[in-house]
Amino acid sequence: MGNDEPDSLAARRRVLITGAGGQLGHALGQAFADDEVLALDRVGWDVRHGRPALLLPPDLVLHAAAWTSVDAAEVAEAEADRVNVEGTARVAALGAPLVAYSSDYVFDGTKDGPYVESSEPAPLSAYGRSKLRGERAAGDRAWIVRSSWLFGETGHNFVRTMLRLGSERNEVAVVADQRGCPTYVGHLAAASRQLVDREAPFGLWHLAATGDCTWAEFAEAIFADAGLECRVRRITTAEFGAPAPRPAASILRSEKDAPELPHWRDGLRACLATLGVGRG
């Protein structure tokens, strides 16, 4: 009996998480909590530089560190590449199996129907190009997970922004001509674990919420579920005037045996419940 605990601990998988301070990294830490997790935020490892001093090599790396500012990348593409491409290459160089996270923004949004893993990428923005180059930098021992419109209880995301604006204003202008799949990071992290635990083949995987909507429809759902009396004024992408172009429709679906995520409305309700927001 005395050896049961050491044997159990010795068998635990050593999991390194990059970008652990972000919303996805935080969710991954929770989803893999029964593993031996080393969660590194930017202070622990800025992936633009070197590599961390590790006592033991990891058995698995979850690479959530990323340049995520879509608009800022338009004037700083080289800096975005330092994180999303060179940083990914440094993480891959650790030699462990890798989950690398990418984006629906690798597509141009002109396809008639959802994008699947075999769909041809054609990024419109510097950010999208950076994420596509990052996919290629992940190497051959990687699950490259594309997801979209991430939101969670922590970090900067659309849900948290709308909750703040909805409590301050009577009306918010929101883009109504972009359509995608808002994905709760808790559900994405759980699906990532399923992908790894069942030893799915390396390669591209689309993991995004079931269902789709526009940003305006998403905002209306947030206000409704949070009990906020705030109107949504629907505007066009051109009216919004963001520096970086976005795909008009970037609905991700899988043509493979990918784990299925819950509907985005379920993700929204789970997020709001964790935040203690809503009508109960």
Answer yes or no: is 168 within a domain: no
Answer yes or no: is 103 within a domain: yes
Answer yes or no: is 192 within a domain: yes
Q: What is the pLDDT of residue 279?
A: 61
What's the token pair of residue 182? Answer: 């808002």
Counted domains in the chain: 1
Distance between CA 31 and CA 186 in Å, rounded?
Answer: 8
Distance between CA 238 and CA 261 in Å, rounded?
Answer: 32
Answer yes or no: is 112 within a domain: yes
Q: What is the pLDDT of residue 7?
A: 42
Q: How many CB atoms lie under 10 A from the CB of residue 40?
A: 21
Q: Model confidence at 12, in pLDDT bands (50, 70, 90)?
A: confident
Answer yes or no: is 268 within a domain: no
DSSP string, 233-256: EEE-HHHHT-SS---SB--B--SS
Is residue 184 part of the annotated active site? The answer reads no
With H, G, I as helix, E, B as strand and everything else as coil, classify residue 160.
helix
Distance between CA 227 and CA 164 in Å, rounded?
Answer: 13
Kindly report whether the global pTM for this prediction surpasses the value 0.85: yes
Contact present, 133 and 87 (Cβ < 8 Å): no
Give me the catalytic one of 105, 115, 127, 184: 127
Answer yes or no: is 19 within a domain: yes
| pLDDT exceeds 90 at position 147 | yes
What's the CATH number where 64 sits? 3.40.50.720
Quote the domain boundaries for residue 52. Answer: 4-157+182-211+250-263
Answer yes or no: is 89 within a domain: yes
Answer yes or no: is 271 within a domain: no
